[in-house]
Amino acid sequence: MLVTAVLPALGAPGVVADATVRDPAGPPLSEEAAGGVRAARGAAADPWARAAFAAALRHQQAAALYLAALDAAALEVARREEAARTAIWDRLAQCETGGNWSMRGDRYSGGVGFYNGTWDAFGGREFAENAGRATREQQIVVAERVRAFNGGSLVGAWGCGAVAGG
């Protein structure tokens, strides 16, 4: 595939115009694909075309490595942002319930000590009937809804809101 994309653009010498190119396992190739194969066959004997192909391949490999490095950096940034976003909830849970994300009570449940009516009112039942039965991540989703409703602040929504830093 790379050969058909690079070599025809190079105007490789030695292209055989009337050769029939077939995939042994299927129907004849399209004229565009066949032209690329013919160009590759003709260029294989041309040292300049081989050098140009090798250079193009090196550039493609370098670009792939560069993109992989960018992806790794982006993933690291996303991981750090997620850790920072959820750290406040861990601090709140530590203060509210001693960090017990599965705490279940008659009035309050879950790691951040949801009032059970608040859990229901902010859609918690889409995850579990009680915050203490939901995962930490599911509880954080609902807690972020409560926080957004409270103007982005934890203070006022949770007794430990100020201690947690929100």
C-beta separation of 112 from 119 below 8 A: no
Spatial CB neighbours of 34, under 8 Å, sequence gap ≥ 6: 19, 20, 21, 28
Per-residue pLDDT of the chain (166 residues; tens, 9 = 90+): 333 333 344 444 444 444 444 545 566 666 666 666 666 666 556 777 777 777 777 878 888 877 887 787 788 888 888 888 889 999 999 999 999 999 999 999 999 999 999 999 999 999 999 999 999 999 999 999 999 999 999 888 888 888 877 6
Cβ–Cβ under 8 Å, residues 110 and 131:
yes
- The pTM score is 0.56
What pLDDT is stored for residue 14 in this prediction? Answer: 43
Residue ranges matching CATH 1.10.530.10 in the chain: 86-164
Q: Of the candidates 85, 124, 126, 127, which has an alpha carbon nearest to the alpha carbon of residue 108?
A: 124
Output the pLDDT for position 33: 65
Classify burial at 111, counting beta carbons within 10 Å of its beta carbon; exposed 0-12, middle 13-18, buried 19 or more.
Answer: buried
Q: Which CATH number describes the domain made up of 86-164?
A: 1.10.530.10
